[in-house]
A = this chain, B = another copy of it.
Amino acid sequence: MKNIYFTPGPAELYFTVEGHIKNALKEQIPSISHRSKTFQGIYHEATSNLKQLLNVPDGYHIFFTGSATEIWERILENCVEHKSHHYVNGAFSERFQGTAEELTKKTDTETAEAGSCVNPNPDLIAPDTELIAFTLNETSTGASQPLEDIYAIHQAHPDKLIAVDAVSILPHPDIDYTQVDTVFFSVQKAFGLPAGLGVWIVSPRCVEKAQNLQKKGINIGSYHSLPSLLSKGMKDQTPETPNVLNIYLLSKVCADMLSKGISKIRQETEYKAALLYHAVEVHPHLNAFVKDDAYRSKTVIVADTQIPSSEIIEKLKKDNLVVGSGYGDYKSKQIRIANFPTHSKEQFELLVDKINALK
């Protein structure tokens, strides 16, 4: 019997992916040239389906990289000459900030208590800040920054670029992209694809910034600089031979999601999250790690465990339900459960039943 993966990425494949992979093999998609019309069609379908699904405005671009980790680096290379400002809510937002330091940029950092988010104060942002980095959904803690916090900072600092790490949460949030400049995610989380593809949404302002840095002779990278990605992207191509199979799968999964309807996906996500948080709240061995309801992620639910998390994980595993351990220092003290579009209401009800039975 197959497992159901509720791990927060890599996660359960979207339920249509296996069929799409079989079709891709039949159509020999992995053998086509990335400079062919067939590939350009796939690229166009993937980006236009994504724009429609996420309601990305005209003029914004969608580019592909190897991972979201790569996008941290590319944003900082292309959009920051000297200094970025980072809101750190956990291990992944900390790595975004650390990436800036590795690239020898200066950073200002505000750090939240574990299991919470920084309440951003626009007055604490230095005038020489070029980019402000938010992590919408901290996969390590299950703390989710409210979109309104991000928009408020944008409105107070309209001259600065706003970057939003949306790994492990998109397509759930209905982001107003006109109030942010770059948003990114990796496909192995809520889109339910095999890992190996990052998706980078970019405003025209980011491209201008990169072009200006390049004119000043500043190193903004090579094949994956924004000018290079844009020059190929205009032709529905990529600078390198990309992960063609995953771009094909993304186009198909986005089409499936469009066909289901994004509002239905969002409603189901809310329902499943409510179900699981309730189960955690009333459970004798579990407590929601994120105390403030306003910061509770709908897509990565993290619970403190009163008994070693491995006991809970092993018991659920016997029913072929795979949930994640805590992240880093919380490994043995927490479980993390993904609530992605591929997880059906029935699968969540089953999971909740089995969690209740652990009492």
Residues of A within 8 A of B (CB): 2-3, 5, 7, 9-13, 17-18, 21, 25, 28, 30-34, 65-70, 72-73, 98-99, 102-104, 186, 188, 193-197, 217, 219, 221-225, 239-246, 322, 324
Contact = CB atoms under 8 A, between A and B. Distances in A.
Given A103-B222, A196-B197, A28 B5 contact: yes
A223 B74 CA distance: 11
B70 A66 contact: yes
B241 A186 contact: yes
A218 B33 CA distance: 37
Contact of A28 (B3, B193, B239): B3
Nearest to A10: B31
15 contacts: A5-B28, A7-B33, A9-B241, A10-B32, A10-B33, A30-B193, A30-B194, A66-B240, A67-B240, A69-B240, A70-B224, A72-B222, A102-B219, A194-B244, A196-B245
A223 B102 CA distance: 9
- Report which residue of A11, A193, A240, A244 has the largest number of chain B beta carbons within 10 angstroms of its beta carbon: A240
A221 B13 CA distance: 31
Given A11-B31, A70-B224, 20 more contacts: A5-B31, A9-B241, A10-B31, A12-B31, A18-B25, A30-B194, A34-B195, A66-B66, A66-B67, A66-B240, A69-B239, A70-B240, A102-B219, A102-B222, A102-B225, A186-B241, A194-B245, A196-B196, A196-B244, A219-B219
A95 to B, nearest CB: 8
A70 to B, nearest CB: 7
